[in-house]
Structure 1
């Protein structure tokens, strides 16, 4: 944790570690001593576990912290406060097809727009974390298929890396008023 982080960021950072250790305590067979570390990009990983054994993804926003542990597979999680920022920046991270679909949702019910754009941003963040690679272009490499927005559901997604396309399912929900949670993990088989 950077020494310059404010009290809120420090609390979120600590809560992420506490949540991770609580999840590890729920595992039937715990690996040896594991410590949450961050790589040079800030991505969390478990020191003491091989990347092929156990993968960790963390997220925090406002009062919420989320974590996903995956055995032998990549994983991604994101939690976001619902706010208009995602809607204002949507043209920078949505593909033309995604933009068109989001506009259609907004025309159907403008009250859902802020939550929907936040959900789209969160889904792309989850896919980015699943990719575990820097330099990804959200508009062209992290693609979301159309879906019927609801309080919870699934978003079909495509990740394009090194010319290869992989399909993923991003689960989403609103765990409490004012927040969106998205997550995805690969099968370990």
Structure 2
């Protein structure tokens, strides 16, 4: 079972990362899906997306949850029926979840140079033009994207813009934590964001900061 990494963030928060190496058949073994989720998997055109979906259910099982314990609200945000908070992510051959007593969000992204072309769509790019090394700029922008995606998943309000409403505070690549906030319709929510890099991927997870 390729459980890649477990992170105990605090006494009530854990991160689980899965490296997807098995076939869909192997990942489906022992996993029972709701009718809705079974239909979702069957309608996925990508085999890798199907495998990612199933690997998430294996990660949930590590904490004693099944697909029947998971539901989604009107904004598409996942929830657990016991009122614990969960966030889910999948990128290529990695999948991850974070489970906590508090509001959380998580994202994994493959590090790719194409982020340099789209950066202006999600962050004020001028802040990063002083980075002389293109690889370092790509890595930093990937962290920013992951951080913003994590906040977006946690805040989960329609209309929130990565560019206009989510801001990530300055950090350096040798750090593993930063802060960020969502400002939307007169409300502000602060977050603490942890991040790390592995095998050409970036992972960030966000926890709401105490008021």
TM-score (norm 1): 0.81
Aligned 8 A contact 1:17 1:36 in 2: no
SS in 2 for 1:84: coil
Question: Which residue of the other structure, out of 123, 128, 153, is the alignment partner of 1:129?
Answer: 153
| RMSD value, Cα | 2.4
Q: After superposition, give the CA deviation of every residue in 1:48-82 in whole Å (9 maximum; x if it has no partner).
A: 32xxx3111000101111111111x2110000111
Which residue is equivalent to 1:8?
48
The equivalences for 1:53-64 within 5 A come to 53-64=83-94
Which residue is equivalent to 2:58?
18
The equivalences for 1:144-159 within 5 A come to 144-150=168-174, 152-159=175-182
Which 5+ residue runs of structure 2 have no aligned equivalent? 1-36
Aligned 8 A contact 1:19 1:67 in 2: yes
Which residue is equivalent to 1:111?
135
Aligned 8 A contact 2:191 2:209 in 1: no
Question: Which residue of the other structure, out of 113, 121, 129, is the alignment partner of 1:92?
Answer: 121
Q: Tell me the CA shift for residue 158 of structure 1.
A: 1.3
Q: Tell me the CA shift for residue 41 of structure 1.
A: 4.6
Q: Tell me the CA shift for residue 187 of structure 1.
A: 5.8
Aligned residues: 171
Q: Distance in 2 between the 1:39 and 1:8 partners? A: 25
Q: Distance in 2 between the 1:83 and 1:173 partners? A: 16
Which residue is equivalent to 1:102?
128
Distance change (3 Å), C-alpha of 1:113 and 1:130: same
Q: Distance in 2 between the 1:7 and 1:41 partners? A: 26
Question: Which residue of the other structure, out of 117, 129, 139, is the alignment partner of 2:163?
Answer: 139
Q: Distance in 2 between the 1:186 and 1:158 partners? A: 9
The reply on whether 1:68 has 2:98 as its aligned counterpart is yes
Which 5+ residue runs of structure 1 have no aligned equivalent? none
Q: After superposition, give the CA deviation of every residue in 1:117-157 in whole Å (9 maximum; x if it has no partner).
A: 2111111101101112122111121101111123x511221
The equivalences for 1:170-185 within 5 A come to 170-174=193-197, 176-185=198-207
Q: Distance in 1 between the 2:156 and 2:121 partners? A: 21
SS in 2 for 1:148: coil
TM-score (norm 2): 0.73
